[in-house]
Structure 1
Amino acid sequence: MIHFVLLISRQGKVRLTKWYSPYSQKERTKVIRELGGVILNRGPKLCNFVDWRGFKVVYKRYASLYFCMCIDQDDNELEVLEIIHHFVEILDRYFGSVCELDLIFNFHKAYYILDELLLAGELQESSKKTVARLIAAQDSLVETAKEQASSISNIIAQATK
């Protein structure tokens, strides 16, 4: 099971967090600070797996971001590396060469993609096409809602004149 997902920049800034196990806000802050220090200070030639507090942390660096997932000791690290790569491929396909700024300004879409990919800390959908179709449907719903909200606000504005 995946306990949490962290995206951390090379400067140590958190870009995305998703918690699948219960942690208090104080514990979350401590985890982020501790893991950020451990992962950012590791050399590029070292293994992408870290033993931490009885768990394993699997991470992979893509451009300026570290994608980290915390798993149980008996889970398969290589499978989690594939899940990370799968997530990055979907982000790359959606944003067209994803970068850190895409995740900063469209964090809600990154969360939605992650939610389509993982459910309760387990892989939910392995098909990139299915995830892309679901995301496109969600974008369509958002656009429809924006158009309806705009037309309603126009009606209200005209009625109040």
Structure 2
Amino acid sequence: MAVTATGRRIRKRKLKAEINVVPYIDVMLVLLIIFMVTAPLLNLGTDIKLPDSHAKSLGTPKDPIVVSAYADGRYALKLPDADNVTMTPAEITRNLQGIYKQNHDATVLVNGDATASYQAITNAIDAIKDAGFDRVSLISRPVEAKAK
């Protein structure tokens, strides 16, 4: 050991190769609590007015199946090469289940009346989803078609 001029011994300290992570854990827990408290406040709904779309259509699918929801609460199913037939959502689900067993990739469209309630259109989508179809598209009219 080394000795100084006054006779004291100099101790060499060994370096520690570890990191004290306790302060980092404390900061992380505080941030976690802050985010947990503020996250529900960020999901509040706001009133918005959606813009009209001038986007071009992606194209008409070949032989689509169309489920219509009317303003008076009626529903109808139109199969390719057939007429529009009024049905209940349960009957639509049963008919679409048979089609789904034969063709998993069939195109299903929802044609909702502009004055139909949101619930009526949601019920039509639910009937399609209950039949097994994962992809459902909505039929809309472009802005320039409304003006004509």
Name the structure with the higher helix share: 1
The TM-score normalised by the length of structure 2 is: 0.28
**Larger Rg belongs to:** 2
